[in-house]
C-alpha cells in the first residue's frame, strides 16, 4: 500500500464543521416515545368517549363511567406494543458500527460517524462499512454493494474508484477521501422516502375507522335531539336521567370493545410471533400479510443467505479431476486474505479432507487489472479467475461450456501454469483444468417456504439487482413458477412496459431500487395485495410502498425501520407462521366482531327511533356494560383466541355485518315491542320496561353466541354456561348496580312471548342471510 495520506488538519476540520460540511446523522429513525403516546392517546375515538365520560361525571353517577376502562386498556395496549417494537428495533440498529477511523494531522484516530467532515480521509479494512460516499486515494479492496444495488458480486475498488455509503469492505484495505456528507450520501438519498412513519393498509383498521368516522358524524346531532326530546318533552325526565339515557345510547353506538378486542388479539399474535423470532412493528400488518396474494422477494438475503458457496467443480475434457480439486484446495489455502470466493472454495474442500492442499512458495494476489489470483507450489503453479483473462484467446474453445455453467452461477476458470515472472505475470501458456461455479448460498428452508405460499394461492415474484440468468437459476431451484422465463429490467423503460412485465413474468434481474418500487405500484394498480421482502437500502422504496413489508434483521437500518415485520433470525421460513397467525386473528375477529356490531346497529337504530317515540330511552350506560361484558366481551375474547387457519374469504365489514343484522333486527323489534306493549297495554313503569329490554337484548346475544359456537367444543360449551350464568347473576344478586327491578307476572309473560318470537325470527334471518353470503363468496372465488 502506498504512503498513507496525512488527511485534514485540526484547523481544516474546524472550518468544515463551521460550514456545516459534517456527516450529520441521517439514519432512518423510529418514532419517539412521545410520538407513540400522542398518536395512541389523541384519537377521534378516544375524544368521543372522553366527552361522554365528562357528561356522566356531571351527573355524579360514577358507576356509569365503567366503559372508560375499555378505552384506557386499548390505549395502554397500543402504547406498550409500539414502544416494545421501537426498543427492539433500536437495539437492532446498534449492530451497525458507530465509529470510523480517519487520518487527521498525519495520525489515525477514531471518530463518531456523525463527526466525519467533507474531505476527511477514512481508513477502511475488511468488514468495515463505508460511512459516507468517498473516493479511494490509495490501496485496493473488494467491496460488497448488495445492500445498495442488490448485486451480490464483489466490486474491486482501486485508487480513483468511488465508494458508496452503506457498502462493506470484504477484503483489502483502502484510504478514501469523503466527498459527500449527510443527506448528500447515496444511501441517504435512497432512504429519504422511508423516513416518514408508514401507515398500514389494513382492511380491519380501515373498516373500524370508517365505523368510527360515521358514528362521529351522527353521534352528537342524534344525542342532542334525543336529550332534547326527553328533557324538554314535559314527561318529567330529570336532567341526570336524560343525560345518562343519552350517553347510554351514544356509548352503545361506539364499538369500543371491538377496538380493544382487535388490539388484544393482534397483541397476542405479536407475542406468539416473538417466540418465533419475528418482530412485529405494526399490529395490523399481521392481517395485511394474511391477505397478501402477491409476494415479491429480493434474492440476496431472502432466498439466499448472502454467503457464497461452491455449486460445482467441473473439469474440462481431458483434464484430471483430481488435479483440479488439488489446485483449487491449494489456491484457497494459500490466500492470506481470502475474499468470499476463496472462503467458499476453502469451505468446500474443508468438507473433503481427502483433498490435501499443497504448500505454497509464492502467491500472486487478485487484482482488478489481472482479474485472477495464483500461487506457485513446489514444481507447479495454478491460477484462478476470469476465463478470458487467464487463458486469453485460447479460451474460445471453452466459451460454450463456460456459458452454459454461467446460466446459474458465477464461473471461474482454473488453470495450470509454468510459474510467474517478477511482475507477477503468468509465464507460458496456461493449461485449463476446469471451472469452479460459485453462487449465493440458498437457504435450506427456501424451497419449502415458497412451496407453502404457492399452495396458499400466493404468486411469488423474485426481484433482484443480479444478472437475470443467475436470478432465474436460483428461482428455479427453489420452485418459483415461471423461473424459465425472466426479464432484464434494464429493458423496461416505461410504466406500461413495467405493468405488462409484472403481469406476465415472475423473475426479474438487473432491477434498480427505483424500479422495485415501480413493480410494487404496478402490481397494486392491478388489484393485488403485495408483500415485499428485502434487507438492503436498495429495497427501502419498495418496502415502504408495499402493503406489507418484511425485512431481515441483518440488513440495513433503513430496511429494518421502514419494514412492518422484521425477521430477527434472518430466516424467511418464519413467514408461514406470520400468515397462520394472521388467519387465526382475522377469522376469529370476524366471528367475534359481529357481537359488537349488533350493539352498534341496535343503539344507532334505537337512538333515532326514540327521538321520534314518546318514551324515555330504555337503557343506562351501566346496563350496556352488563350486556357488553357477558354477551359480547367475554365470548368475543374466548372465540377470538381459538386456533383457526382457514383461508380468508370475503371482506371484513361485509362478513361481520351479515352475521350482525339478524341479532340487531330482532333486538330492535323486541325493544319496540316491550315499550309499546309494556307501556300502553300493561302499564309498566320505566324501570320495568328497562329491565325487560336489557334481558331481551341479552337473550338475542346468547342466540348469536350459540350460532357462532357451532360446532360446540368443551371450551365453547363452558363459555355458554359462563355467559348465561353471569347475566343471570348480574340481574339477580347485583340488580341494584345494574338497575334491574324484580319480575312481575305481566313482565314474565311479555318477556317469554318476545323471547320466543325473537328466537324464531333470528334463526330464520340468520339462515337466509348466511346462504346468500355463501353464494356471494362462491361467485367471487
Q: 632-654 pLDDT, tens per residue? A: 878 887 887 777 767 777 888 88
Domain boundaries 207-271+582-780, CATH class: mainly alpha
Q: How far apart are CA 386 and CA 368, in angstroms?
A: 11
Question: For the chain, where do the domains classified as CATH 1.20.1110.10 start and end?
Answer: 207-271+582-780
Q: Kindly tell me the number of DSSP H helices and DSSP E strands found in the chain.
A: 28, 23
Question: For the chain, where do the domains classified as CATH 3.40.50.1000 start and end?
Answer: 276-304+443-578
Q: What is the pLDDT, as a whole number, of residue 97?
A: 47
Question: For the chain, where do the domains classified as CATH 3.40.1110.10 start and end?
Answer: 314-433
Question: Which CATH number is 276-304+443-578 given?
Answer: 3.40.50.1000
Which residues does the chain have with pLDDT short of 70?
Answer: 1-3, 25-31, 63, 81, 85, 88-98, 127, 146-153, 187-201, 233-236, 257, 367-369, 408, 537-538, 556-558, 645, 781
Q: What is the pLDDT, as a whole number, of residue 151?
A: 58
Annotated catalytic sites, by residue? 298
User: Are 279 and 566 in contact, with CB atoms under 8 Å apart?
Assistant: yes
Q: Domain 314-433: which topology?
A: Calcium-transporting ATPase, cytoplasmic domain N (3.40.1110)
Kindly state the helix (H) or strand (E) to which residue 364 belongs, with its residue range.
strand 360-364
Most distant CA atoms of the chain, gap in Å: 117
For residue 272, CA distances in Å to 23, 581, 715 come to 40, 8, 21
User: Are 694 and 625 in contact, with CB atoms under 8 Å apart?
Assistant: no
Flag whether the pTM goes above 0.85.
Answer: no
Q: What is the pLDDT, as a whole number, of residue 125?
A: 84
CA nearest to 17, candidates 27, 29, 8:
8
- Alpha-carbon torsion (323, 324, 326, 327), positive or negative: positive
For residue 309, CA distances in Å to 302, 306, 483, 688 come to 16, 10, 21, 80
Instruction: Give me the DSSP letters along 105-173.
Output: TTEEEEEEGGG-BTTPEEEE-TTPBP-S-EEEEEEEEEEE-HHHH---SEEEE-TT-EE-TT-EEEEEE
CA nearest to 378, candidates 363, 364, 358:
358
Amino acid at each position: 500500500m502506498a504512503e498513507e495520506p496525512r488527511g485534514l488538519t485540526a484547523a481544516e476540520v474546524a472550518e468544515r464543521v463551521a460550514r456545516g460540511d459534517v456527516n450529520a446523522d441521517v439514519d432512518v429513525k423510529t418514532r419517539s416515545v412521545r410520538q407513540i403516546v400522542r398518536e395512541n392517546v389523541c384519537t377521534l375515538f378516544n375524544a368521543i368517549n372522553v366527552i361522554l365520560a365528562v357528561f356522566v361525571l356531571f351527573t355524579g353517577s360514577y358507576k356509569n363511567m365503567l366503559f372508560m376502562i375499555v378505552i384506557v386498556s386499548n390505549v395502554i395496549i397500543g402504547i406498550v406494543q409500539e414502544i416494545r417494537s421501537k426498543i427492539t428495533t433500536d437495539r437492532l440498529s446498534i449492530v451497525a458500527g458507530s465509529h470510523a477511523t480517519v487520518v487527521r494531522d498525519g495520525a489515525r484516530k477514531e471518530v463518531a460517524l456523525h463527526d466525519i467532515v467533507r474531505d476527511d480521509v477514512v481508513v477502511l479494512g475488511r468488514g468495515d462499512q463505508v460511512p459516507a460516499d468517498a473516493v479511494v486515494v490509495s490501496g485496493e479492496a473488494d467491496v460488497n454493494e448488495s445492500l445498495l444495488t442488490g448485486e451480490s458480486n464483489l466490486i474491486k475498488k482501486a485508487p480513483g474508484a468511488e465508494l458508496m455509503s452503506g457498502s462493506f469492505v470484504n477484503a483489502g484495505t483502502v484510504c478514501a477521501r469523503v466527498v459527500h456528507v449527510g443527506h448528500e450520501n447515496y444511501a441517504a438519498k435512497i432512504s429519504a422516502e422511508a423516513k416518514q412513519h408508514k401507515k398500514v393498509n389494513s382492511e380491519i383498521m380501515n373498516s373500524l375507522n370508517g365505523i368510527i368516522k360515521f358514528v362521529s358524524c351522527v353521534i352528537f346531532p342524534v344525542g342532542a335531539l334525543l336529550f332534547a326530546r326527553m328533557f324538554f318533552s314535559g314527561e318529567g325526565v330529570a336532567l341526570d336521567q336524560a343525560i345518562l339515557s343519552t350517553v347510554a345510547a351514544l356509548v352503545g353506538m361506539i364499538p369500543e370493545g371491538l377496538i380493544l378486542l382487535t388490539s388484544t388479539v393482534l397483541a397476542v399474535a405479536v407475542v406468539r410471533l416473538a417466540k418465533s423470532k419475528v418482530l412485529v412493528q405494526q399490529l395490523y400488518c399481521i392481517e395485511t400479510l394474511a391477505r397478501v396474494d402477491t409476494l415479491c422477494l429480493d434474492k440476496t438475503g431472502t432466498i439466499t443467505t448472502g454467503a457464497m458457496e461452491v455449486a460445482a467443480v467441473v473439469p474440462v475434457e481431458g483434464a484430471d479431476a483430481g488435479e483440479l480439486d488439488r489446485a483449487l484446495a491449494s489456491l484457497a489455502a494459500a490466500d492470506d486474505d481470502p475474499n468470499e470466493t476463496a472462503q467458499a472454495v476453502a469451505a468446500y474442500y474443508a468438507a473433503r479432507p481427502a483433498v490435501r492442499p499443497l504448500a505454497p512458495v509464492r502467491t500472486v494476489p487478485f487484482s482488478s487489472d489481472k482479474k485472477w489470483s495464483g500461487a506457485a507450489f513446489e514444481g507447479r503453479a495454478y491460477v484462478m479467475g476470469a476465463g478470458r483473462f487467464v487463458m486469453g484467446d485460447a479460451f474460445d474453445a471453452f466459451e460454450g461450456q463456460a456459458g452454459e455453467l454461467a446460466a446459474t452461477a458465477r464461473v471461474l476458470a482454473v488453470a495450470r501454469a509454468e510459474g510467474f515472472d517478477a511482475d507477477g505475470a503468468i509465464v507460458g501458456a496456461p493449461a485449463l483444468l476446469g471451472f469452479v461455479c460459485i453462487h449465493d448460498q440458498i437457504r435450506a428452508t427456501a424451497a419449502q417456504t415458497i412451496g407453502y405460499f404457492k399452495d396458499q394461492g400466493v404468486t411469488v415474484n423474485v426481484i433482484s439487482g443480479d444478472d437475470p440468468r443467475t436470478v432465474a437459476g436460483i428461482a428455479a431451484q427453489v420452485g418459483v413458477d415461471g423461473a424459465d422465463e425472466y426479464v432484464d429490467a434494464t429493458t423496461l423503460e416505461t410504466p406500461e412496459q413495467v405493468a405488462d412485465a409484472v403481469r406476465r413474468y415472475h423473475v426479474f434481474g438487473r432491477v434498480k431500487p427505483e424500479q422495485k418500487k415501480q413493480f410494487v405500484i404496478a402490481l397494486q394498480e392491478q388489484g393485488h395485495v403485495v408483500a415485499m421482502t428485502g434487507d438492503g437500502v436498495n429495497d427501502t422504496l419498495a418496502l415502504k410502498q408495499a402493503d406489507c413489508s418484511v425485512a431481515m434483521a441483518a440488513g440495513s437500518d433503513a430496511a429494518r425501520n421502514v419494514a412492518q415485520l422484521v425477521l430477527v433470525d434472518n430466516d424467511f421460513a418464519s413467514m408461514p407462521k406470520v400468515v397462520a397467525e394472521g388467519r387465526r386473528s382475522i377469522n376469529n375477529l370476524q366471528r367475534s366482531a359481529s357481537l359488537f356490531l349488533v350493539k352498534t346497529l341496535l343503539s344507532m337504530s334505537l337512538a333515532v327511533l326514540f327521538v321520534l317515540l314518546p318514551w324515555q330511552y330504555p337503557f343506562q350506560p351501566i346496563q350496556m356494560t352488563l350486556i357488553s361484558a357477558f354477551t359480547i366481551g367475554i365470548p368475543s375474547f374466548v372465540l377470538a383466541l381459538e386456533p383457526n387457519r382457514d383461508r380468508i374469504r370475503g371482506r371484513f365489514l361485509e362478513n361481520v355485518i351479515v352475521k350482525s343484522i339478524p341479532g340487531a333486527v330482532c333486538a330492535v323489534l323486541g325493544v319496540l315491542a316491550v315499550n309499546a306493549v309494556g307501556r300502553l297495554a300493561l302499564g309498566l313503569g320505566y324501570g320495568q320496561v328497562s329491565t325487560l329490554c336489557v334481558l331481551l337484548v341479552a337473550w338475542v346475544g346468547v342466540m348469536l353466541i350459540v350460532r357462532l359456537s357451532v360446532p360446540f367444543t368443551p371450551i365453547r360449551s363452558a363459555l355458554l354456561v359462563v355467559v348465561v350464568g353471569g347475566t343471570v347473576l348480574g340481574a339477580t344478586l347485583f340488580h341494584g348496580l345494574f338497575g334491574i327491578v324484580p319480575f312481575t307476572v305481566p313482565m314474565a309473560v311479555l318477556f317469554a312471548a318476545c323471547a320466543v318470537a325473537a328466537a324464531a325470527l333470528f334463526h330464520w334471518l340468520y339462515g337466509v342471510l348466511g346462504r346468500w353470503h355463501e353464494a356471494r363468496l362462491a361467485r367471487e372465488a
